[in-house]
A = this chain, B = another copy of it.
Amino acid sequence: MTDMKMSAFFTHTQKEAPKDETAQNAIFLARAGYIDKLAAGVYSYLPLGLRVLKKIENIIREEMNALGAEELLLPAFHPKENWETTGRWRTMDDLYKVTDAGGREFALGPTHEEIIVPLAKKFISSYKDLPKALYQIQDKFRMELRAKSGLLRGREFIMKDLYSFHTDDEKEFDGYYARVKEAYKNIFRRAGIGEKTYLTYASGGSFSKYSHEFQVLADAGEDTIYLCEKCGVAVNEEIIAEQSACPECGAAKETLRKERAIEVGNIFSLKTKFTEPFGLFYKDKEGAEKLVHMGCYGIGLGRLMGAIVELGADGKGLVWPKEVAPFDTHLLAVGNSAAVNTEAESVYAELSAAGRETLFDDRDTSAGIKFADAELLGVPRIIVVSEKTIAAETVEVKDRKSGEVKMVPRKDLLVS
């Protein structure tokens, strides 16, 4: 992605939190100019926010491709008939419905089983066509009555949804499901929240004993989980009453620790729940017709971004983990003398040429404002050029997270 000079930026920071926001993630992201609220649960991603969103998207895409899944892009506009086939046109309360000029009804997709299963029917007919995995990164709609948590709960939100198709060989499915778990762990680790994210047992619905969620510990979370410190998995409150012990390691129920958490991903075995109503069959080796088995696996990109903020932000502002940060380096020219500006431009050119994505605060404004904005924006590494650093033939390098400052010889800029 391109480097940027702040003097040319569309957005600027704001001292005051938006009046109608209570969630920490929305307050910081709005103040720093990453997002803008259009309506409850409906946000614009401003240039800085879109950079973070694309970093998250790239991590997810790489991990999905590594699983061998193929990316596609399905519409948001869904014929009513597809949702009537599964019965969810009537049972799903939070489905947005739209009427066309001709009186024909459509749903705005909150998920895509109703679209991908009839699509898969066009291409899957034999055990030779299985397994297959398809995913998309796409805009979803859900009629949320209480969208007060910033990016954590949206009426319109971008999701990665992966669907896998299998024979009735349970071992094969279990192997795939385990690989997706690992891919999810990679994603949350790379997004900088791996250490606080726990695989969590949740309700499996009518077809499976359990589904699994990935829950990250955070006071802002809307979920309550019971964490087993012995084995490092958790149980969602919704099924804790049914448990007599940790379902993973058997530790006594009393040892589980109650925590608030944000659900950042979920994975389900759907078995034949959706392939049956659409009649998605395959011929097995003996020529017998059998229903295809399915799994589905979701991650909300905006919610993940919100969770990263909830976990990382400190009193001064945002703190981005390296792989999702909008820039690698935030360069500040402090004290706007000609010498400082020349030296800062030279440092900027050198960082850019080396492929370090750099945000350059070249504005004609005070050092205080520049430092405060850098803390608020949360780029991991802040480099300061000033009369003092020029005299000492150094640059000042500050780590946003630890606050640690070191003077680095100017010639060692790229190894700092």
A359-397 contact mask (Cβ, 8 Å, vs B): 1 or 0: 000000000000000000000000000000000000000
A281 and B50 CA atoms in complex are apart in Å by 26
A132 B68 Cβ-Cβ under 8 A: no
Select one of B12, B79, B108 contacting A38, CB under 8 A.
B79
A100 B134 Cβ-Cβ under 8 A: no
Looking at chain A's contact residues, is the secondary structure mostly helix, strand, loop, or mixed?
mixed
A115 and B37 CA atoms in complex are apart in Å by 11
Select one of B39, B42, B73 contacting A44, CB under 8 A.
B73
Minimum Cβ distance to chain B for residue A357 (Å):
13
A193 at the interface (CB under 8 A from B): no
Copies of this protein chain in the complex:
2
Interface bracket on A: 35 or more
B100 A98 Cβ-Cβ under 8 A: no
Q: Cβ of A46: which chain B residues have Cβ within 8 Å of it?
A: 72
Select one of B53, B71, B74, B141 contacting A77, CB under 8 A.
B141
A53 and B42 CA atoms in complex are apart in Å by 26
A65-90 contact mask (Cβ, 8 Å, vs B): 1 or 0: 10010111111111100000000000
Residue of B nearest to A53 (CB): B73
A11 at the interface (CB under 8 A from B): yes
Minimum Cβ distance to chain B for residue A296 (Å):
16
B156 A77 Cβ-Cβ under 8 A: yes
8 Å CB interface, A88-142 against B: 96-98, 100-102, 106, 108, 115, 119, 122-123, 132, 134, 139, 141
Q: Cβ of A75: which chain B residues have Cβ within 8 Å of it?
A: 38-39, 42-44, 156
A2 at the interface (CB under 8 A from B): yes
A72 and B73 CA atoms in complex are apart in Å by 20
A47 at the interface (CB under 8 A from B): yes
Of the candidates A49, A65, A156, the one having the most CB atoms from chain B within 10 angstroms of its own CB is: A156
A212 at the interface (CB under 8 A from B): no
Q: Cβ of A338: which chain B residues have Cβ within 8 Å of it?
A: none
Q: When A74-B44, A115-B44, A156-B77 are in contact, do A68 and B38 touch as well, CB less than 8 Å? A: no
Q: When A72-B50, A98-B98 are in contact, do A42 and B77 touch as well, CB less than 8 Å? A: yes
A28-53 contact mask (Cβ, 8 Å, vs B): 1 or 0: 00000100101100111111011001
Q: When A78-B38, A79-B38 are in contact, do A50 and B73 touch as well, CB less than 8 Å? A: yes
Of the candidates A38, A75, A123, the one having the most CB atoms from chain B within 10 angstroms of its own CB is: A75
A178 at the interface (CB under 8 A from B): no
B132 A70 Cβ-Cβ under 8 A: no
A153 at the interface (CB under 8 A from B): no
Minimum Cβ distance to chain B for residue A62 (Å):
10
Minimum Cβ distance to chain B for residue A13 (Å):
11
Q: Cβ of A132: which chain B residues have Cβ within 8 Å of it?
A: 10
Which residues does A use to contact B, with CB under 8 Å? 2, 8-12, 33, 36, 38-39, 42-47, 49-50, 53, 65, 68, 70-79, 96-98, 100-102, 106, 108, 115, 119, 122-123, 132, 134, 139, 141, 143, 145, 155-156
Selected A-B contacts with CB under 8 Å, 9 pairs: A10-B123, A36-B119, A38-B74, A38-B78, A47-B71, A50-B71, A76-B76, A77-B155, A97-B98
